Amino acid sequence: MALTIGVDIGGTKIAAGVVDERGAILDRVKLATPKDSAQVAATIAEAVGTLRENHEAEAVGLGAAGFVSADRATVLFAANMSWRNEPLRDRIEGLVGLPVVVENDANVAAWGEARFGAGGREDNVVMLTIGTGVGGGVIIDGRLLRGHFGIGAELGHYRVQPGGLLCGCGQHGCLEQYASGNALTRIVKKAAAADPARAEVLLSLGDGTPEGILGSHITAAAREGDPVALEGFTEVATWIGQAMADMTAILDPGVFVLGGGVSEAGELLAAPARERYREVVPATGQRPVADVVTATLGPDAGIIGAADLARDR
Residue numbers at the binding site for Zn ion (CB under 5 A): 157, 167, 169, 174
- Specify the residue, 38 or 169, whose C-beta has the smaller distance to Zn ion: 169
Judged by DSSP in three states, 172 sits in strand
What kind and span of H or E run contains 46?
Answer: helix 40-52
Question: From CA 269, how far away is CA 47, in angstroms rounded?
Answer: 35
- Specify the residue, 60 or 167, whose C-beta has the smaller distance to Zn ion: 167
DSSP per-residue string spanning 273-305:
HHHHHHHHSTTTTSS---EEEE-SSGGGHHHHH
| Minimum distance, C-beta of residue 168 to Zn ion, in the bound complex (Å) | 6
- Specify the residue, 24 or 166, whose C-beta has the smaller distance to Zn ion: 166
Question: From CA 137, how far away is CA 190, in angstroms rounded?
Answer: 31
| Minimum distance, C-beta of residue 145 to Zn ion, in the bound complex (Å) | 19
| Minimum distance, C-beta of residue 135 to Zn ion, in the bound complex (Å) | 11
Using alpha carbons, list the distances in angstroms from residue 107 to 92, 110, 286: 20, 5, 31
- Specify the residue, 116 or 178, whose C-beta has the smaller distance to Zn ion: 178
CB atoms within 10 A of CB 195: 10
Which of 71, 89, 180 lies closest to 134 in space, CA to CA? 180
- Specify the residue, 6 or 131, whose C-beta has the smaller distance to Zn ion: 131
| Minimum distance, C-beta of residue 137 to Zn ion, in the bound complex (Å) | 17
* Length of the chain counted residue by residue: 313
Q: Are 256 and 243 a contacting pair, CB within 8 Å?
A: no
What kind and span of H or E run contains 161?
Answer: none
- Specify the residue, 29 or 160, whose C-beta has the smaller distance to Zn ion: 160
- Specify the residue, 97 or 149, whose C-beta has the smaller distance to Zn ion: 149
| Minimum distance, C-beta of residue 171 to Zn ion, in the bound complex (Å) | 5
- Specify the residue, 41 or 167, whose C-beta has the smaller distance to Zn ion: 167
| Minimum distance, C-beta of residue 70 to Zn ion, in the bound complex (Å) | 21
Question: From CA 244, how far away is CA 246, in angstroms rounded?
Answer: 5
Question: From CA 36, how far away is CA 40, in angstroms rounded?
Answer: 7
Question: From CA 208, how far away is CA 189, in angstroms rounded?
Answer: 11
| Minimum distance, C-beta of residue 155 to Zn ion, in the bound complex (Å) | 10
- Specify the residue, 115 or 157, whose C-beta has the smaller distance to Zn ion: 157
Q: Are 310 and 4 a contacting pair, CB within 8 Å?
A: yes
| Minimum distance, C-beta of residue 164 to Zn ion, in the bound complex (Å) | 10
Report the side by side order of strands in the sheet with 255-259.
143-144, 134-140, 125-130, 255-259, 291-294
Q: What is the CA radius of gyration of the chain?
A: 20
| Minimum distance, C-beta of residue 109 to Zn ion, in the bound complex (Å) | 19
